[in-house]
Amino acid sequence: MTLAPPPSSRVQLTDDGKLRHFLSVEHLSRSLLEDILDTAASFVDVGGRAIKKVPLLRGKTVVNLFFESSTRTRSTFELAAKRLSADVLNLDIAKSATSKGETLLDTLRNLEAMAADMFVVRHQDSGAPFFIANEVTPGVAVINAGDGRHAHPTQAMLDMYTIRHYKGGFAGLRVAIVGDVLHSRVARSQVHALNILGAEEVRLIGPRTLLPVAAAESLGVTVCHDMAQGLKDVDVVIMLRLQKERMDSAFLPSEAEFFRLYGLNNEKLRHAKPDAIVMHPGPINRGVEIASEVADGPRSVILNQVTFGIAVRMAVMSMAISGQESSQNPEQGDQHGR
């Protein structure tokens, strides 16, 4: 099935501009993205408490609807929901009715009959979360946990949180995104978020076979095929995973050749600024995209991205539920106390 996402984000917002669903960062305002980051900041210390819970989603039911396998994204969404005191249902798609011929819409209707309040959707088809958001009963929020090659908005926002945490802001920043951009929904969301938040320059670095040059240039980025040139004086280096499950051998001669030209090691990292940070959305392939000396080195913030990801997903989930409640009851106040 091919589900094209809609051209605008109107479905994501309430009439008064609050978050109703979170499907893509594209077309969202800078103030809304900053609100997500600020809300996440209020949740970061929850994981360090003796009781790792806040009551914002108490009595709510969150369904993790993953049509694609994922360990990191699914587990952080589950932790985020539980830390918000929600009840969580992890649907095993491999054993669900869709594998037996039931349509996506029929599955959705059955889950709604169980009084679900939120669907966290990961799907192999671009646009599937938009389709679900357009079909759900009013009052049910939908969060995109990655769809096809289109978008991964919560990953982009946890990356933005990480950058802001270490760099203080986005003004004047040069950010390099390196590797398999062609197959990466994360890269697309990162580019949109960085441009909205005011980064000075976004560079995409990789072989010609893995860079969608025409599409990339329309996004207002700089395209580089040489690692040294692309990394020169950047403040942030984001390495991407090779999406081997979405490509064939025609895209690159070998993993060893890819690492020689585009894998990040300490020698290549010297071209970046001395205080540049290194990021990766995970899971990392050591010796393919990144050397262990960098992944485990002092400039790596990869594990911190995972920690911040829980707080960011808590922020998005709580804001979406709040937006749904305010759209159902316009006189209701802000549930976050902000």
**Which residues are annotated binding-site positions?**
72-73, 100, 122, 152, 155, 185, 241, 282-283
Q: Are 296 and 278 in contact (CB under 8 A)?
A: no
Task: Tell me the residue type at 101.
Answer: G
Q: Are 252 and 209 in contact (CB under 8 A)?
A: yes
Task: Tell me the residue type at 83.
Answer: R
- Find the angle CA(280)-CA(177)-CA(245) to the nearest 5 degrees: 65
Q: What would the two tokens of residue 65 be?
A: 């609807």
How far, in Å, CA of 257 to CA of 192, rounded? 30
Q: Are 164 and 37 in contact (CB under 8 A)?
A: yes
Q: What would the two tokens of residue 96 be?
A: 């669900």
How far, in Å, CA of 227 to CA of 72, rounded? 28
Task: Tell me the residue type at 274.
Answer: P
DSSP states along 208-227: GGG--HHHHHHTT-EEES-H
Q: Which residues are annotated as a binding site for carbamoyl phosphate?
A: 72-73, 122, 152, 155, 282-283
How far, in Å, CA of 115 to CA of 122, rounded? 20
* Helix, strand or coil, per DSSP, at residue 42: coil
Among residues 135, 151, 147, 12, the alpha carbon closest in space to that of 66 is found at: 147
Compute the radius of gyration of the chain from its Cα atoms: 20
292 CB-near residues (< 8 Å, 6+ apart): 286
Q: Which residues are annotated as a binding site for L-aspartate?
A: 100, 185, 241
DSSP annotation of 317: H
Strand partners, 203: 176, 222
Task: Please count the CA atoms within 13 angstroms of the CA of 81 that sit on its side-chain side.
Answer: 25
* Helix, strand or coil, per DSSP, at residue 85: coil
